[in-house]
Structure 1
């Protein structure tokens, strides 16, 4: 599978995507796990595809680290993520790491689609929706009175 997969070939031929490479492909029982990464809009995206006879799950993720102006409780961050996610059904933002004033958020989107059926009309809009998510989340945090150090 790996670099021969349809999703990999589509990403390879998508403008503005760079540094596309396979991280790992492994087969476990009747499932194939394919992990890859690429750069788009100055950010590193991680992707995975899990294929088995029942379904193929595709996932794209971009991690972003925020520096808070002051320490905020984990509960406040999680509550903010919950309300953020409720307003954005295509995306899922999760707390990847939290240490003092440093917060890492994973923005991801999952979809079930056989690799052969994936096309550019699915992938390009998904990446374009995900790319502005880190700045959208900054604006959302500020609306919730959680201040971020802007660099």
Structure 2
């Protein structure tokens, strides 16, 4: 699911104690989803700077529940620059080819990835929210 960043505030609530020196500085991020609902999340402040996330940006939650910007139209470039766990990816694709559900979030838009079609010896796997598609030959 896509969100719009409404606010980014420094998280200064550490209760009665100071922040542990080994604990990262956190930010409280207020988001609005596509249906207009607002949520707040705690995210590492440095990660927000590294990913250049600021108020007004469209973001998604990645596989680790961290914010990332919504990729632009050239999402394939983003895809080729990622490190992929090939055995894990292959195992997930085999499960989908068998028609079973998987718990895989699209790395591009945050949608749910699953089986799109399976016909004429070809299985198409893709995201239900964007145009990401993978076509596999059925054995």
Does the alignment reach a TM-score above 0.5?
no
| Structure of higher RCO (CA pairs closer than 8 Å, 6+ residues apart) | 1
TM-score by length of 1: 0.29
Question: Higher helix share goes to which structure?
Answer: 1
Question: Higher strand share goes to which structure?
Answer: 1
